[in-house]
Amino acid sequence: MNAFLLVALGGALGSALRYAVSLALIGGAGFPLAVLTVNVVGSFLMGLSFAYVAERELGGLLLFFQVGLLGGFTTFSAFSLEVFALYEQGLLGQAALYVLLSVGLSVGALFAGVFLMRGVS
C-alpha cells in the first residue's frame, strides 16, 4: 500500500480518536484534561511502539501507527520520541534545549499569532 495512503488513513483515525477523547472528557472545570490525556496516552503508545519495532521490520505498519495514527492523535508523541532519541544518544543538553525551545517558542508563536490577528481585525 502507498506510504502516503497509510499515513493518511492512520492520521484520520488518530484525529477521530482525539476528538472522541475530547468529547468524553468535556467539563474539566477549565483544565485541559483532554489535551493532557491525549498527550500522555499518545506518548506512552509511541514508547511502546518504538520499543516494539526496534527489533522488527514493520515498514508500512510503522508509518500507519507512529506517523499516521499517533501523529493524528497527538504530535506531542513524536516530540517526546525525539527528546528520548537525544537522551539515548547521551545528548542531554540538546534534549533539554529542545524541550525548552519547543515549548517556549511554540507557545510564544501561538500568542504572537493571536495578537497579530487581533491587531489586524
Q: Grid coordinates representing 4?
A: 502516503
SS (H, E, C) 38-80: HHHHHHHHHHHHHHHHCCCCCCHHHHHHHHHHHHHHCCHHHHH
Q: What is the pTM of this model?
A: 0.78
Is 14's pLDDT higher than 70?
A: yes
pLDDT for residue 121 = 62
Residues 49 and 70 sit within 8 Å (Cβ to Cβ): yes
Q: In this predicted structure, what is the pLDDT of residue 75? A: 82
Contact 36, 90 (CB under 8 A): no
- List the one residue out of 13, 39, 36, 10 whose CA is nearest residue 25: 36
Task: Give the pLDDT confidence of 62-121 residue by residue, as tens digits.
Answer: 889 989 999 999 988 889 989 999 999 999 999 999 999 999 999 999 899 899 998 876
Using alpha carbons, select from 18, 3, 5, 1 the residue that is nearest to residue 71.
Answer: 18
Distance CA 21, CA 7 (A): 21
17-42, pLDDT tens digit by residue?
A: 999 998 998 765 677 888 889 999 99
Q: Which residue has the higher pLDDT, 54 or 48?
A: 48
Residue 92's pLDDT is what? Answer: 97
Q: State residue 77's pLDDT score.
A: 86
